[in-house]
């Protein structure tokens, strides 16, 4: 995805958000400045996992939100945790 495509998606979605969600998005964007520094250095293993995740995403090996939620709910159900949404 290009920067222009990302901005177009963000702008299109913003128009449909209510005030509360727009304020939440603004808080997230403002917090990104503080997020430039990690609270600690990543381990080599963590760095490897981040790079694997980036490559998986670039190659289209990712789940939709619904797929991820279903898989997580199935995993947690084995441990007696209720579904995230009913």
What confidence tens digit (pLDDT) does each residue in 6-48 have? 889 988 998 899 999 999 988 888 887 766 666 778 899 999 9
Phi-psi label, residue 19: left if phi above 0, alpha if psi -120 to 50, beta otherwise: alpha
Distance CA(52)–CA(42), nearest Å, equals 14
Token look-up 């600690």 returns: 40
How far is Cα 78 from Cα 37, in angstroms, rounded to an integer? 37
The DSSP symbol for 38 reads -
Domain ranges of the chain: 1-37, 40-86
Q: Residue for token digits 């080599």? A: 44
In this prediction, what percent of the chain has a pLDDT beyond 70?
Answer: 92
**pTM given for the model:** 0.39
86 pLDDT above the threshold of 80: no
Residue 75: per-residue pLDDT: 94
């Amino acid at each position: 995805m290009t920067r222009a495509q990302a901005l177009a998606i963000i702008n299109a979605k913003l128009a449909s958000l209510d005030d509360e969600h727009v304020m939440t998005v603004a808080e997230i964007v403002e917090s990104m400045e503080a997020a430039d520094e990690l609270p600690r250095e990543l381990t080599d293993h963590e760095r490897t996992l981040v790079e694997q995740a980036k490559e998986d995403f670039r190659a289209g090996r990712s789940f939709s939100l619904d797929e991820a939620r279903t898989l997580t709910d199935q995993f947690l159900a084995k441990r007696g945790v209720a579904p995230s949404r009913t």
